Amino acid sequence: DAMVIQNPRYQVTQFGKPVTLSCSQTLNHNVMYWYQQKSSQAPKLLFHYYDKDFNNEADTPDNFQSRRPNTSFCFLDIRSPGLGDAAMYLCATSRDGKALETQYFGPGTRLLVL
Partner 1 sequence: AQSVTQPDIHITVSEGASLELRCNYSYGATPYLFWYVQSPGQGLQLLLKYFSGDTLVQGIKGFEAEFKRSQSSFNLRKPSVHWSDAAEYFCAVGKSVLTGGGNKLTFGTGTQLKVEL
Residues in contact with partner 1 by CB under 8 A are: 4, 6, 30-31, 33, 40-43, 45, 48-51, 53-55, 90, 92, 94, 96-108, 110
d(CA 82, CA 63) in angstroms, rounded, equals: 9
Helix-strand-coil percent breakdown of the chain, rounded to 5?
5, 50, 45
Beta-bridged to residue 46, according to DSSP, are none
In the bound state with partner 1, the residue whose beta carbon lies nearer, of 48 and 111, is 48
Cβ at position 16, least distance to partner 1 in Å: 27
In the bound state with partner 1, the residue whose beta carbon lies nearer, of 16 and 97, is 97
Cβ at position 27, least distance to partner 1 in Å: 13
In the bound state with partner 1, the residue whose beta carbon lies nearer, of 55 and 80, is 55
Cβ at position 54, least distance to partner 1 in Å: 8
d(CA 5, CA 108) in angstroms, rounded, equals: 8
Distances (CA, A) of 75 to 14, 57, 99, 105, 111: 19, 16, 24, 15, 14
What is residue 85's DSSP assignment? G
Cβ at position 80, least distance to partner 1 in Å: 26
In the bound state with partner 1, the residue whose beta carbon lies nearer, of 75 and 105, is 105
